Amino acid sequence: MQNFFNHTAKYPKFKSKRSTVQSFKVKNSMDRLRINNNKLKIGKHGFVKVRGLRNITGKILSITVSKTSNKWFASIAYDKVIVKPLPKTNKSVGVDVGILDLAILSTGEKITKLNSMQHEKRIVKLQKSLSRKIKGSNNYLKTKDKLAHAHLKLRNLRNDYTHKLSWKLVNEFDTIVIEDLKISNLLKNHRLAKSIAHASWFELRRQLKYKSDWYDKKLSIINPHYTSKECNECGFINKELSLANRSWNCPSCNTVHDRDINAAINILNRRDDGDSLVIN
C-alpha cells in the first residue's frame, strides 16, 4: 500500500487460492521439461497426461500452466521452430470486416459471423441462477463453475472460428489487405459495442499478422477513410451515405454498389498507396 501511495506501484490485489487465477511457469533448464508420447514432464511434478499436444519440432523454452474453469492448460513456448511456407497462389484480396457478416472479401464472398445465440442464452440463464444463490454456498459454487465453463466454451468457439477464417485467407491468397481500424474508438458506440467486441476484429488482425509472417505471405494495412463511400469504378465519394444504406447507386457513373463488397474492393485497390503499411 505504501508503494501505491508513493505512486511507484499499482493498487495491490487481494490474492486468494480460491478465487484468483492460478498459474505457474517452469523454465526449461537442466532438462526439466520433456514431451514423451502423450505425457508432459513439468519440472519436479513429473510426467502428466495431456490432451491436444501438437507435433512441433523445436527447443522448449518454458511452460506456463494455468487453471480456467476447473481445467488446467499448458502453454508451451518454443524456440527455433521451422515453419514451411505455403505455396504461392499469386492472388490478392481485400477484406472488409462487419457486424452482419464477419468478413466481406473483394472477390464478392461474404463470410457470416458465428451463430452464438444459444450459448449466450445459456450464459444469461446461468447468471440469473447465480444471482439467486446464497454467496459462498455449495450451490453457488457449482453454478459459478457452470457459468465459467459456459464462458470458456463460447470463447473457444469464437477463437476456433477466427482461426479457421485467418487460415483460409492465408492459405488462398498471397497478399491480404485490411483496414487500420481503431477498435477502442469504435467500442465507444454503445449501440454497437457488444456486436463489435463479439466479432473479434482485433483478434482476426493479430492472427493474420503472425500467420502471414509464418507462411511467407504479405499483410498490408491501409487507411479506412471513405472505403465504403468511395465508388470503386470512378472514385466518386458519396458523403451522404449512412450506415443504414447497405447498397447505393453512384450518381457519377450510375454503378450499383453493395456497400460491403465495394469497401472490400477499395481496400484492395489501396494496397499500393503511400499510406499503406506492409507488415510482412
**Is 179 tagged catalytic?**
yes
- All structural domains of the chain: 2-79 (no CATH), 92-114+164-278 (3.30.420)
Neighbouring-strand partners of residue 39: 36, 49
**How far apart, in whole angstroms, are the C-alpha atoms of residue 279 and residue 219?**
5
94 to 98, 176, 179, 224: CA distances (angstroms):
13, 6, 9, 12
**Is 260 tagged catalytic?**
yes
**How far apart, in whole angstroms, are the C-alpha atoms of residue 197 and residue 194?**
5
**How far apart, in whole angstroms, are the C-alpha atoms of residue 219 and residue 277?**
8
Task: Considering the candidates 31, 120, 160, 260, report the single residue annotated as catalytic.
Answer: 260
Task: Considering the candidates 31, 96, 145, 258, report the single residue annotated as catalytic.
Answer: 96
**How far apart, in whole angstroms, are the C-alpha atoms of residue 169 and residue 209?**
11
Q: What is the SS3 assignment for 58-84?
A: CEEEEEEEEEECCEEEEEEEEECCCCC
**Is 203 tagged catalytic?**
no
Walk along the chain (280 residues) and give the pLDDT tens digit of each residue. Answer: 888 899 998 888 766 666 566 788 888 887 778 888 888 888 888 888 888 888 788 888 998 988 887 788 899 998 888 888 899 999 999 999 988 899 999 999 999 999 999 999 999 999 999 999 999 899 999 999 999 999 999 999 999 999 999 999 999 999 999 999 888 888 888 888 888 888 889 999 999 999 999 999 999 999 888 898 899 888 899 988 888 888 889 988 988 999 899 999 999 998 876 455 555 5
Task: Considering the candidates 145, 179, 213, 258, report the single residue annotated as catalytic.
Answer: 179
Total-model pTM: 0.80
